[in-house]
Structure 1
Amino acid sequence: MKKLVLVVVTAAAVVAAALIPSGPPVQAASKGFGSAVSAVKQTTWQTNASVTALAVAGNTVYAGGLFTRIRPPGAAKGVQESVRTYVAAFNKTTGAPTTFAPKLNGAVRGIATSPDGKWVVLGGDFTTVNGVKRSKIAKFSVATGQLVAGWDPVVSARVKSIDIYGNSVFFGGAFTKVDSRVSNRLAAVKLTDGTLLPWNPNADDDVYAVRASGNGTRVFVGGPFETINGKDHYSLAMVNSTNGTALAMPAASLIPKPTWGCTTRVKVIETQGNKVFAGNGGDGAGCYDGIIAADATTGKALWQSNCLGANEALKAIDGWLYKGSHAHDCSQDGSFGDGTGTHFLLVQSIANGKIGPWFPNTDADPNSTTQVGPLAFAGDSTGLWAGGDFLKVAGKGQQGLTRFSSAPGGAVPAVPKAPALTAGAAKVTLKFTDVYDVDNITLTYSVYRGTTKIGSYKYNSYYWDKRKTYTVTDTGVKSGQTVGYRIDVTDDRNTVKSSTASVKVH
């Protein structure tokens, strides 16, 4: 007898599926996860306070922040600690610390490595390095770990963000002078010898983010400023990388101007190829916390997301934009709403901004000076590093620093419950509940009668969704038979199986 299998989805499941964006963000990959990296955290050392800056050079990851100690994974605070005053370096492959341990007398707020991987530049609040005067900015050799003698621009106040392109080191912060020249919150020096360059965009308030375009012709800057070179450029500006002239950037008009009840500012900027991404954080209920994607040459907007929850970190890897934020309401983008918790780590499609398949999470240390969770990202096609003020990752102790890999494997879907069975006349009706996978949105559910697969179905699910129920009717049975059914779930690499439920056919 030819079998007939019918599938029915509950009304709630139909509504939920309609909200899920189509296209690449929901496609599971054969490597076991759908985005560029897995949501499974890798073994990494920890810090005793916030990590506020990260950068990669070759197989070394540099971390800067407010910490003064590091410790092994799994160790409690105060146990097996090693001294690292505001900066440390780690092996990118193993997560273990290197011997790089300069002594700074103040926090590190920004880090950049040169494109050739030979140099690392730190910025922050410090005034000495290894007892040598260094005013808010310092350069080190990646090969030797030594402070570069003679490279010593004198910056009058905090350096918050740094980027390097070619022989230019661009930086922004709270300063008003560099080497006695008036340089309001933005400046550039030569990477080779630290000589001050004429680039001087003159922001009227602090700069939080500085990022050069992929071709080096533009520099994007963000912060709470209202003007660049005396002209209106609220919070986000695109400037010429040679003379500092502000260029027209239509996408910046999407950022709302301050009102009595709401102020928002760009907190982080990322670039990839000819695209630039600016993430905001707002003060006030419902105040703009979105991300704008724009063309890095024309400044025209490509897409905008409007999740609520300030953005703190962005990193583009392959076709994905990873973000660290306190996202709590993305209903404006057709995703989760308030009441589902804070989603500190998310990924969005670079093509359209839709939330993609990557759902690890952290917390935020309520006793830290920042209290926001993730604060900095760095990485490449091999993986993503995240730093911040968190105490836990995936519900387990891991302070200040964590990492995620692109190596195949990834998270395993949750184990489904055995199906509920109802026997009829020469038929069996099964009901089974979906599960979720923190690495994928789309999962394949296969229904087995004994060793016979009677059907496979692809469904979308997010862990914050109310679990959905699906119904399958199997008519390929005979009256009097006792048959057993189970549900297999796969993400295209990892497969889990429910226990078997049995019933006698009428």
Structure 2
Amino acid sequence: MTADTLATWQTDGIVWSLEYARGVVYVGGTFNKVRPPGAKPGQQEVARKNFAAFDAATGRLLPCAPSFTGGGNTVRALKASPNGRVLYVGGSFGNVGKAGAASAVAIDTAGCSLRKDFRPTMSSFVRAIDVTNDAVYLGGDFTLVNGQDRERIAAFTPSGKLLPFQAEIDAPVRAILAAPKFGKIIVGGDFFLLNGQLEKSLGALHPVTGKTVNSYADWLPPRSSVKALAGDETNFYVAAEGAGTGIFDGRIAGRLGDGKMVWKDTCMGATQAVAVHKGVLYSGSHAHDCRDTPGGFTEYHNRQHFLAQSVRNRHILHWFPDTDGGTGEGNGPRVLKMAGEVLWAGGEFTTVNGRPQQSLTRFSPGPDRGAPEEVPQLKASASASGRVTLTWRATWDRDDAELKYLIYRDGRLVASPTRRSAEWNRPTMKFTDSVAPGSRHRYRIAVTDGKNTSLKSKALVVSAVADERPKEKH
């Protein structure tokens, strides 16, 4: 991915959930209106009540717009069936359009119509959904489903019949990852107890019975919880958030097959979202103090709200688009979703890469359009005859670690040194030029990532030291 954003619509509230199916990206959250790329709050707004749909290729707003109202007035979970024909929606709502509902429904994606068969009655919030060919799994705060005991997780047939699958979970489920190939459903959340055993915030259940099939009891400390899960062909990935001292805020990779841990990073910063694509784990958090994670950084003045890591060894890659914390709890990104080759991100942010953009954005593989972030300021010393030494602080680029510095003397390129850098690692650089003693020159500098070049700096006028050797007598 490049760190450059694609033009994307915005919402006037928080985006909690994203799903991609059949060329459409569905957005769920707590919002009343959406507006076009670049529009300020209150401008060109279109009504969309907690749900919106966009063309995944162009980003165009689509007419699919059922309103989700009542209850907690929010959509928290979206998941499509494996064939993309049905979109399952969960949250806290009492109505979908004019139809009554109880926090979970299904929509036919072809016509954006509410299905009549999938209409469970949930006693409280639905926060997570995953779907297989045989079952729809819902997790959240509820303890009753259709009047029957179901403690924070339940399973249905795709047509809405409640299945006997049952587990005892003592606190909300916030994430579900179905892995039927491996005979398990991985669940994460705020809980301590799973089926009567201590399973802090993470466990794996049998997809038919709900019995525990894998334990991860020692993966998370007491004051940390799981906010999101993602998976690829072999691994699953955990996003964790903690509060207080001795907590874990980062990401964990585990094997789907045997349940063994692959790696665990140590970044602080309340990870809210993860998505995996082509060997890279993307995450949304407010990462800081990543000093013990390969490729990471020590505590510094900023918080980094997006990260990319190698799924093989947790190494942090040089991909640093960023948001602000935004509204609500100030966590910035809340959800990530791959739509083909494009990464969509939603949350409570109000800026992306320093520019206004509320709650929704997206990134693509290219082309890279972003020049390095700053133009260095040159300083010069001329302490020896005909020698001019220029110094400057390295700049940085959001998606290129190695930059080339173009040094011009009197409009002519005279040097092009390269150096690796990041926002938190900007070393001092130096170049010594040889000119005629006593001559006067104008120096400027620009920076390129190989495709995009910054503007040139203001000219720095330097007079070289004159030759002070005594003249020969004749």
Higher relative CO (Cα under 8 Å, sequence separation at least 6) belongs to 1
Relative to structure 1, the CA distance from residue 426 to residue 363 in structure 2 (aligned partners, 3 Å threshold; closer, same or farther) is closer
- Name which of 215, 218, 234 aligns with 1:253: 218
1:129: Cα distance to partner? 1.5
Aligned residue for 1:9? none
Shift of 1:244: 2.4
Structure 1 position 74 matched with structure 2 position 38: yes
Q: Show the counterpart of 2:59.
A: 95
Question: Is 1:354 paired with 2:302?
Answer: no
Query: Take 1:407 and 1:454, find their aligned partners in 2: how far apart are those partners?
Result: 29
Look up the SS of the partner of 1:408 in the other structure.
coil
User: In the alignment, which residue of structure 2 is the partner of 1:395?
Assistant: 354
RMSD: 2.6
Task: Say if 1:419 and 1:480 are closer, same or farther in 2 by CA, change over 3 A.
Answer: same
Per-residue deviation, 1:147? 0.7
Equivalent position of 2:470 in the other structure:
none
Which SS does the other structure have where 1:293 is aligned?
strand
Secondary structure of 2:218's aligned partner: helix
Moved more, 47-56 or 128-137: 128-137
Q: 2:101 aligns with which of 109, 117, 134?
A: 134
In the alignment, the residues of structure 2 paired with residue 86 and residue 497 of structure 1 have an alpha-carbon distance, to the nearest angstrom, of 42
2:192 pairs with 1:226: yes
What CA distance in whole angstroms lies between the structure 2 residues aligned with 1:216 and 1:194?
A: 24
1:490 paired residue among 448, 454, 467: 448
Specify the structure having the higher radius of gyration (Cα).
Answer: 2
- Give the Cα–Cα distance (whole angstroms) in 1 for the partners of residues 463 and 81 of structure 2: 66
- Cα distance change on mapping 1:387 and 1:497 into 2, 3 Å: closer
Aligned to 2:226: 266
Shift in Å, 1:52: 0.8
Match of 1:50 among 6, 10, 14: 14
- Give the TM-score normalised by the residue count of structure 1: 0.83
Is 1:249–1:300's contact at 8 Å kept on the other side of the alignment? no
C-alpha distance 218-420 of structure 1, shift in aligned 2 (>3 A): farther
Q: Is 1:120 aligned to residue 76 of structure 2?
A: no
Q: Partner residue of 2:3?
A: 39
Query: What is the aligned-residue identity percentage?
Result: 35
Q: Structure 1 residues 386-395 or 117-126, which shifts more?
A: 386-395
Distance 1:326 1:456, change over 3 A: closer
What is the CA-CA distance between 1:418 and the residue it aligns to? Answer: 4.2
In structure 2, the residue matched to 1:235 is 201
Q: Distance in 1 between matches of 2:280 and 2:254?
A: 15
Matches within 5 A, 1:321-400: 321-333=281-293, 335-366=296-327, 368=328, 370-400=329-359
> Match of 1:32?
none
Aligned counterparts, 1:142-291, within 5 A: 142-191=109-158, 193-213=159-179, 215=181, 217-250=183-216, 252-256=217-221, 258=222, 263-285=223-245, 287-291=247-251
Letter of the structure 2 residue corresponding to residue 359 of structure 1 = F
Between the aligned partners of 1:101 and 1:410, the Cα distance in structure 2 is: 33
Task: Report if aligned partners of 1:381, 1:406 keep a CA contact under 8 Å in 2.
Answer: no
The one-letter code sitting in structure 1 at the alignment partner of 2:230 is E
Deviation, 1:281, is 0.9
Which among 402, 418, 423 is matched to residue 463 of structure 1?
423
| Alignment gaps of 5+ in structure 1 | 1-36
Change (3 A) 1:103 1:496: closer
- CA apart distance, 1:473: 3.8
